[in-house]
Structure 1
Amino acid sequence: MSPVDLSIVIPAYNEERRLGPSLEAIRAYLDAAPEGPSWELIVVDDGSTDGTADIAARAAAADPRIQLVRGDGNHGKGHALRQGVLASYGRRVLVTDADLAAPIEELETLEKALADGYAAAVGSRARPGASIGVHQHRLRELLGRGGNFLIRTVAVPGIRDTQCGFKLFDGDRARAAFAASRLRGWGIDVEILHHFRREGWPVTEVPVRWSHQEGSKVRPTDYVRVLAELTTLRTRSLRPIRRVDLLVTGLFLAIATALYANRWVSPNHRYLPDALQDQNQWEWFFQVTARNVSHLDNPLFTTLQNHPDGVNLMANTVMLGLSVPLAPVTWLFGPAVSLNVAMTLGLAATATAWYWLFVRRLVRHRGAAATGAALAAFAPPMISHAHAHPNFIVLFMIPLIIERALRLCEGRHVVRNGVVLGLFTTYQIFLGEEPLLLAAMGMLLFTAAYAVVRRDVARAAWRPLARGLGVALAVCLPLVAYPLWWQFFGPQSYKSVLHGDNAGNSPLALLSFAERSLAGDADTAAALSMNPTEQNAFYGWPLVTLALLITVWLWRRAVVKALAFTAVAAALLSLGPKIRVPWTDVILPGPWKLLSDRPLFESVIEGRVAMVCAPVLGMLIALALDRLATPVPSAMPPSAMLRTRVFRYAGVGAVALALIPIVPLPLKAVDRIDVPPFIADGTWRQYVDTAAGETLVPVPLPDPGYAEALHWQTSADLGFKLPGGYFNGPWGPDRVGIYGAPPRNLSNLLRDIRGTGRAVRITDAWRRAAREDLRFWNAGVLVLAPQPSDAALRATVDDLLGQRGKWVDGVWIWQVHGGS
């Protein structure tokens, strides 16, 4: 059947007295209109026991534009409306009661509202300008108003007359909303209006003429029934199909556990080699936070690393939002277990949070939401960061922040939601500021695109959103003011972090496969990324192609247009300030150049902006699967039904083919380097005077390239201090951020010897520089563990200090109390 301009849907139960005149009045009105619309009229008999079905059948026989849909029993008005709307083909759909209490002539008023850009127009008896020809009994009217007040308070604020049976909808949106509906009774009116509000489809209330008709099926007690249905619906929306949600959450936890399975075998003795030195660093962060909590020390600063200058912990990613709550786990089981718990549970919680957001705001089909959430949380960039960057995978607050911002756009409880948004943002700052900045960029891109596509929604939303954001800032800023001051102006603060010119993605990275993907290739991924922890794109060409096809297929939806713009913009920004055209020497300016020198953005690794694409692609997949799962109208011709089913199977197959290549593989883990007995057995205490503030100096000093000494320190329960280290800190008069401690003569010398394996001819100048550095560090003992180039290192230190190293409990040591 080809589309028509207008579909009229009439639910009917035992309406033999009123249905005939109503059908005749509707047909006469539509036929009398000059250049009137093409139309169809669908009567849904809800198991009537009188002659209702016969009257509709005779009308259908006389006019092919009228059709009868027979029910198999009396299931309720909601069930009848759903069957009728899903059987319709109209570009616009009018639902009206069989009694025409609102005369068909009022259709013109509703049509004007849709012409103004609204997706639905509700005929209202309660708006100024409405006229009521025949009133109900006074008591009945008062009961109805009271019930309606409760209904709109509970479910649809702003709509005064939810139950008036005269509503005009955009056809496609009506079919989508009724397909997603679940109620069978009178409450379906509210459920549909709530669906429109949730999707951001604008609804208006239009005053109409209305007269009470004798024989009305609506009773005052039916408002109580509607409230009961809405309570059931509300319960389902909070805990819908609870076992399924638990199953999905359990599935996400199983995936996260399998990802780290090779470490869970023995967390304290296994290491992720692709983490480089980050695992040592993060375990140190968790341990130092637990120590600060137990000793009631300042959690924003420490001198245990980089002694004597120390480390600004707030300016590093210590994730106080997790490391503080997990301090008891760290005390009992150690930082390796604590970090593993944080990353495993955090990754599962992030997937669950995306699933909750998709179900609440995007789709109704649980399978579609779960698939999209899995992609958002376990996409290749997330798996890459899962090696060693919990701040980029523990993102469960981001969906909560997005959902709260959407509530502000709806204008509901602006102050309360603004306060909650401020608290959520505060907590996210203590989980990770860079992910929050990237999420804000993604939300801003989406908002700008959606505002262009749906100016009507933007006009309605910007005032409550701006007010709510102001409330959120008023709550957040006082809570984070001191920590942020410490981060940007406190001891060992810095201005920006140098990442070099190779931090952007290659365009090929967006189409290739990551190392830990099922179809991945380690050599290809290594050639297109900075290191295994920074494979920030790698979505694969099948998924990118599928996303393009989904965008074309669902282009009419405003949310799809906004998502597509967000994905493309984020991908382009991730290419960096200079875009190298593959297989050529051509270099083009990239849009990131506009942001690269701006405050905050100057410290961002631009390749990470591609991570914004993960939830966006997840949303597109969820929307496509949800559309594929939409029930087929029962009135669809068999040939069309067959084509629809074939298309659905093909669509689900295409999603599978796009996702299977990027299924994540468990992360590799190896046996950890043993901590020397000198450290593990506490022998070091005999050689380091901690009361005098002496430090233990590893040879070479710990740095971002080799930070095993941080593991020594955590194994010793942070009993001694270290010079050097792996952290972000200032360098030079401009306080530019670098990785590790500012270079000194001795630290550079020892690092170079470890890298080359060749000893250096020592001069008196070198000896004086070494003594100066040792005094600066207040060194108590130098410690050299077996490692590559240890012979050259040992000979050099012997020569520098004028003493032979002593073998003690598995290490070579040189006593240099006070640096002498």
Structure 2
Amino acid sequence: MRQAQGTTLDHSVLDFTLETPAPEAPVSRKTPRFQHALIGIGYLAIAFVVLERQWRDLGTGYLVKSGQDQTMWEWFFAVTAHSIAHLENPLGTTLQNYPLGVNLMANTAMFGVSVPLAPITLLFGPTVTYVLVLTLGLAGTAFGWYWVFAKEVVTSRFAAAVGGLFCGFAPGMVSHANGHPNFVVLVLLPLIALQVIKLSRGDNKLRGGAILGVLLAGQIGLGEEPLLIFAFAFAVFALVYYLHMPKAAVTAVRRVYKPVLLGGAIAVLITGAALWWQFFGAQSYRFLDHGQMGNDAKALVQFPSESLGGMFAPGQNVAINATEENAYFGWPLLILVAVIAVWFWRNRIARAATVTIVVFGVISLGAELKIGKSDTGIKMPWHWLGEYPLIESVLETRFALACIPAIGILLALATQRALTTPIRSVSTFWFVGLVVALLPLTPTPLPVTDRTPAPQFFANGDWREFSSGGSVVTVPLPAPERAQPLQWQADTDFEYSIVGGYFVGPAGSSQRNSAHENAEQKGKYGPIDRPTALLLAKVAKTGIVPPIDASTRATAQDDLHYWRADMMVLPGGRNEPALAATVEQLLGRPGTQVDDVKVWDVRGDVHG
């Protein structure tokens, strides 16, 4: 690492200076601050361009590739602000999945931003919070890695800015900007890395450990899955870096382990109550089985869909969904990375970065190698790794995100070499190669569509005539594939509770799961499937009215009692006639047309 001005670095312990030019001449304090600010503003401008279509239409615009995720995230931001404003527990709520509710800490509620930004949510609405978090997340992550590269990897701020640019706007980052803020706001991860590096030098252990603890607690509030992936990647990087320096490794570990333990203790102290609620509170679960979610091999070499390369040279659609293009580095960049790896192989930091790229690129391929969606029968490391606790709930495709900072390191090192080499041909070759590799990955503005407005029944407040404090059952029930009722509820400032929803909760018994039950409790997306919910979902999908007998009607009554329902509401949509006929047979009477929906008042059935 580059020696910081005014400090003494023990290169026998942590020597990242190999193949790195000597520090630049001292400059005035104003100059670096101005450069930092200029680079940060540049990152912010690029982030704004990526999301400019959503910024231009905050009222009705919707990031089309987010699927139902934008609705879910806006609901999380809105319900957190609502809980704070009403002095309620923000970690859990029964406003969704009534009457069991949702464990928001066990979901991706991102309290690290939803709590401090609650005033913005209350004043301007959750869409503003959502797009603000995404914009600042992209720019902040880029600047965080730039800061680390400028302080510890290279002396050229331009070279550091190139590395930071890739880290903030890599294909995986832009893809997640459609609908996953928890994988966009990663600014604390480079700061955690920087703090550990400082501790490995022997910096103030008490102060350093305390700072690390606060950073870890902050990242827990932003997203635990990115922290887990980062921890594994950082460990592999450090292991490879110290592989041929066992004595230095022992010294570094001795310096680090106590402040790291202190930091962990502080993080647990800060987040302990929330973590207890996550794992032992109402509607908690232990793990989430996603199934096979590895990258197709083609995902490594193709261009991302939202990029110049994807526009002019689109490849086969092999991503698990539009928000999970976690690799998509493009073949020119991978060739360039291979060239850098050979060029800088004697540089320990470059060698560690290269191995990290290879390891996590392979892990991201999942349990079995697929090429162009075709199974090869070749087992990959995830076949064995995916069975271990902690990582079993991670989507293996996301391990490709660990490659991003490592690629950023290589780009920064090579850019600095090109800037300082006296051989003009080397410099020209590098910058031409850099442009050829990165230009196809240049992100294009994320596409936006018009948001479907809420039914007038909810927008006008006519639902209140049918409410007695119970729940609203929309037909079909809200689910991960149809989350619009969450938006309608949020628009009414959460004046009623809804049945079903889009969240992660326990997959087992519909009763409250205690902390003493099976530690292997499994989670699932959406509510526990009750018979009437499954029936209505099937009708919505097929348009076929099934035979309704006395047993089916009795089951529907039981479900309505369980849901403590006040009304069943059928908005217009696909297969509406079949759904209306089904509900009429279940309840034995037609619905009432109110505004643009059909309503069945079931208070007499449930409370009579």
TM-score higher than 0.5 here?
yes
Note if 1:542 corresponds to 2:327.
Answer: no
Match in the other structure for 1:805: 591
Report the Cα offset of residue 266 of structure 1.
2.0
Task: Quote the sequence identity (%).
Answer: 40
Match in the other structure for 1:67: none
Note if 1:725 corresponds to 2:501.
Answer: yes
Report the Cα offset of residue 311 of structure 1.
0.4
Q: Please state whether the residue corresponding to 1:562 is helix, strand or coil.
A: helix
- Decide whether the 8 Å contact of 1:781 with 1:814 is kept in 2: yes
Distance 1:427 1:587 in 2: 42
Match in the other structure for 2:25: 182
Distance 1:526 1:712 in 2: 36
- Decide whether the 8 Å contact of 1:377 with 1:615 is kept in 2: no
Match in the other structure for 1:761: 547
Report the Cα offset of residue 481 of structure 1.
2.1
Task: Encode CA deviations 1:316-353: one digit per residue, 9 max, x unaligned.
Answer: 00000000001000110111111111111122111111
Distance 2:482 2:221 in 1: 27
Distance 2:564 2:557 in 1: 10
Match in the other structure for 2:452: 673
* Map 1:624-773 → 2, pairs under 5 A: 624-630=414-420, 632=422, 644-690=423-469, 694-732=470-508, 735-773=521-559
Distance of aligned partners of 1:592 and 1:420 in 2 relative to their CA distance in 1, 3 Å threshold: same
Match in the other structure for 1:70: none
With normalisation by structure 1, the TM-score equals: 0.70
Q: Please state whether the residue corresponding to 1:788 is helix, strand or coil.
A: coil
Distance 2:289 2:18 in 1: 53
Distance 2:18 2:237 in 1: 25
Distance of aligned partners of 1:250 and 1:595 in 2 relative to their CA distance in 1, 3 Å threshold: same
Note if 1:555 corresponds to 2:372.
Answer: no
Task: Encode CA deviations 1:710-749: one digit per residue, 9 max, x unaligned.
Answer: 0101111111101100000001256311000011111111
- Decide whether the 8 Å contact of 1:380 with 1:538 is kept in 2: yes
Match in the other structure for 2:176: 385
Task: Encode CA deviations 1:631-669: one digit per residue, 9 max, x unaligned.
Answer: 63xxxxxxxxxxx11221111000110001111111110
Distance 1:493 1:579 in 2: 33
Higher RCO structure (Cα 8 Å, ≥6 apart): 2
Distance 1:757 1:488 in 2: 40
Report the Cα offset of residue 586 of structure 1.
2.7
Distance 2:53 2:123 in 1: 22
Match in the other structure for 1:285: 76
Choose the corresponding residue for 2:243, options 449, 452, 468. 452
Distance 2:573 2:316 in 1: 26
- Decide whether the 8 Å contact of 1:779 with 1:819 is kept in 2: no
Report the Cα offset of residue 578 of structure 1.
2.2
Distance 1:592 1:789 in 2: 42
Task: Give the gaps of 5 or more residues in structure 2.
Answer: 510-519
Report the Cα offset of residue 580 of structure 1.
3.1
Task: Encode CA deviations 1:367-401: one digit per residue, 9 max, x unaligned.
Answer: 21111111111111111111010000001101110
Distance 1:331 1:173 in 2: 49
Match in the other structure for 1:366: 157
Task: Encode CA deviations 1:530-574: one digit per residue, 9 max, x unaligned.
Answer: 110111111111111100000101111100110001010011111
* Map 1:392-541 → 2, pairs under 5 A: 392-501=183-292, 503-520=293-310, 527-541=317-331
Report the Cα offset of residue 244 of structure 1.
2.4
Aligned partner of 2:413: which letter? L
Distance 2:349 2:19 in 1: 17
Larger radius of gyration: 1
Aligned partner of 2:243: which letter? V
- Decide whether the 8 Å contact of 1:728 with 1:737 is kept in 2: yes
Distance 1:542 1:174 in 2: 27
- Decide whether the 8 Å contact of 1:778 with 1:818 is kept in 2: no
Distance of aligned partners of 1:680 and 1:470 in 2 relative to their CA distance in 1, 3 Å threshold: same
Task: Give the gaps of 5 or more residues in structure 1.
Answer: 1-118, 121-150, 160-169, 184-232, 633-643
Q: Please state whether the residue corresponding to 1:268 is helix, strand or coil.
A: coil
* Map 1:120-159 → 2, pairs under 5 A: 154-156=6-8
Aligned partner of 1:606: which letter? E
Task: Encode CA deviations 1:244-269: one digit per residue, 9 max, x unaligned.
Answer: 22221111111111111111112131
Match in the other structure for 2:50: 259
Report the Cα offset of residue 459 of structure 1.
3.1
Aligned partner of 2:98: which letter? H
Distance of aligned partners of 1:354 and 1:158 in 2 relative to their CA distance in 1, 3 Å threshold: closer
Distance 1:701 1:158 in 2: 63
With normalisation by structure 2, the TM-score equals: 0.93
Distance 1:251 1:650 in 2: 25
Report the Cα offset of residue 680 of structure 1.
1.0
Note if 1:602 corresponds to 2:392.
Answer: yes
Aligned residue pairs: how many?
Answer: 592
Distance of aligned partners of 1:742 and 1:328 in 2 relative to their CA distance in 1, 3 Å threshold: same
